[in-house]
Amino acid sequence: MRRIAVLTSGGDAPGMNAAIRAVVRYSIYKGLQIFGIERGYKGLIEGDLKEMLIPSVGDIIHRGGTMLRSARCLEFMEEEGKKRALNILDVFKIDGLVVIGGDGTFRGAKTLCDAGFPVIGVPGTIDNDLAYTDYTIGFDTALNTVLDAVSKLRDTTSSHERVSIIEVMGRNCGDIALYTGLGGGAEEILVPETKHDIDNICKKILLSANRGKTQSIIMVAEGVGSANDICAQIHEKTGLDVRATILGHIQRGGSPTAKDRILASQFAAHAVQCLLDGKSSRVVGIRENKIMDMDITEALDMKSKFNESMYELTKILSI
């Protein structure tokens, strides 16, 4: 293992730059030559690689996004695209690859692994939807971004005695809604992992209003459906002033929290060490506060377990 490369793929997440920095500096410290691949698998297919030096990653640990940029690449999903990627890696004499991203990124990495090329995955996604690891890079920062927005919305919701429906990201995983709902004191949390009854929600809002509560916050994970549709249903049934706010891509941006910077650095260093130890087809993660790695196929096959106890706690505390 003399030359390795790093790329970021899929949706950007705060902390990706911290991970890139750690991959580069840990590699150089260990005597490796390190290359950065621009724009994910698209850049790999196009041969958009550049050597990274210590100064290349200076002043980025606190920056959101990814300095290597990211792009979707349908061509990589085709057999010809995969062959071209392997050819590019051979041309640049790359011995191993670290990929930073989510589920789609890892599935792309697995195709390279299946072809015999050493790849280690680092989980970078705000969705926290990779079942094998307790946390992914970017999740904590996204939570803090959402909580800041919830606090601001609660001010105006209270002033106007409204019901505020807040839609957050997460695809088919409700973790962002669940964690921010608990942390932000939401009255209701709607997530894809559980069913909801709009009539029960309306009843709870009305009972709260009858005992003097002037506002309600309802967190909605995007996998449940449109916040605007839920807003319209609640207004039609209750006649209350209901407003929807879709936070969108602001959840992806911003300076990463200390937790995301530290996790990213630990994950990245562990990934490089895996390559140095002769490991391949592995993904890095954290379980019970310990950095670990496991087989990529096993990791992708794992089913997410919804945190039922946390969800029940939100129900109790929102009475």
User: Catalytic amino acids?
Assistant: 127
d(CA 58, CA 232): 49
Instruction: Reduce the DSSP state of residue 161 to 3 states and report it.
Output: coil
Query: 243 near 164, Cβ under 8 Å?
Result: yes
Closest CA to 265 of 112, 95, 57: 57
Structure tokens at 128: 């926290």
Give the contacts of 315 (CB within 8 A, at least 6 positions apart): none
Query: 22 near 264, Cβ under 8 Å?
Result: yes
d(CA 191, CA 281): 32
d(CA 40, CA 52): 16
**How many C-beta atoms surround the C-beta of residue 317 within 10 A?**
12
Phi/psi at 318 (5° precision): -100, 15
Structure tokens at 239: 């006649």
**How many C-beta atoms surround the C-beta of residue 55 within 10 A?**
8
d(CA 204, CA 200): 6
d(CA 243, CA 286): 38
Complete edge-to-edge strand list for the sheet that includes strand 49-52? 49-52, 33-37, 3-8, 96-101, 119-123, 282-287, 290-295
Closest CA to 272 of 97, 111, 41: 97
